[in-house]
Amino acid sequence: MSTDRSIVLFDLFGVIARHQRPDAQGKMAARCHTPTDAFTMAYWDCRPPYDAGRQSASEYWTAVLRRLSLSADADADADMIEELRLTDIDSWSRVDDRMVAYVQSLRDVAEVALLSNIPADHADAFLAAQPWLHRLDHVAFSGKIEAAKPDPAAFRHCVVAMRAAPSDFLFVDDREENVGAARAMGMNGHVFTGRDELAAVMGTWLTTRRPTGNVRGL
C-alpha cells in the first residue's frame, strides 16, 4: 500500500558515476604479472562476497591472488594487496557531473536515495570525496548493509530504512536484472540509458504521483 510519497532510488555506477576506468584491469593485472583476461576473471568471480560486506578488502584480494595461483611472503602480499586495493578504489572514482547536478535538482520535487553495489572501503572513499551524497535522503551501500542487488534484501533495506512502501519508489539502474528485481519487490523501475530519457520518464512519473506539481525542467 502506498504512503503517497515520491522516492527516486538511484543506482550509482553506470548512472551517476562512471563505470571502471577502461585501463584499470590491465594495470592491476600487470602488477600481478598475470594476463589481463585471467586477472579479470578472478577479479569478478571473487567479487560477490566483497560487494555484499561478507569479506574485508584483504580477504577479497587474498582470494583473487590465490585464484591466480600467486603467493609470496606475508609482507609482500600485504604490500601488493594495499596497492591493488587503492588502484581499484581509484578506478571507480569518477562521477558524471551533469548527472550529479540532475540528481540534486530532483530533491525539489521528490525524496532522493541511493542503492549501490560497492564494497565498504570503496563506499568510505566515495563518501569522503563526494559531499553531495550526504545531502541525499538515504544512502545504502551493499558493503555496509550486507546485501547486494539483485538480492531482494538490498531493496527491502531501503523500504524499511525510509519507512515507505515499495510502490513509493522509482528505482533507476543501468542493469535490467536489478530493475527487474526492484519491480518484483513492488517498486517502479526504469532501465537507465541516458539523462534525457530519464528526465522524460521522471516527469511523467512525478506528474502521476503529484498531478498538480510543477515538474518542468526535469
Q: What is the pLDDT along the chain (218 residues), one digit of tens a residue?
A: 456 899 999 999 999 999 999 999 999 999 999 999 999 999 999 999 999 999 999 999 999 999 998 865 555 588 899 999 999 999 999 999 999 999 999 999 999 999 999 999 999 999 999 999 999 999 999 999 999 999 999 999 999 999 999 999 999 999 999 999 999 999 999 999 999 999 999 999 998 876 434 443 45
pTM: 0.91
pLDDT score recorded for residue 84: 97
- Partners of 173 in beta bridges: 191
- What is the domain extent for residue 72? 24-91
How many domains does the chain divide into?
2
From CA 2, how far away is CA 10, in angstroms rounded? 19
Write down the residue that cell numbers 544512502 correspond to: 139
Give 199's contacts (C-beta < 8 A, 6+ positions apart). Answer: 102, 218
Query: Which grid coordinates belong to 39?
Result: 586477472
**Burial category of 174 from C-beta neighbours within 10 Å (exposed 0-12, middle 13-18, buried 19 and up):** middle
Number of Cβ within 10 Å of residue 200's Cβ equals: 10
Same domain, 28 and 87: yes
Choose the final residue of a domain: 76, 91, 106: 91
Choose the final residue of a domain: 58, 91, 124: 91
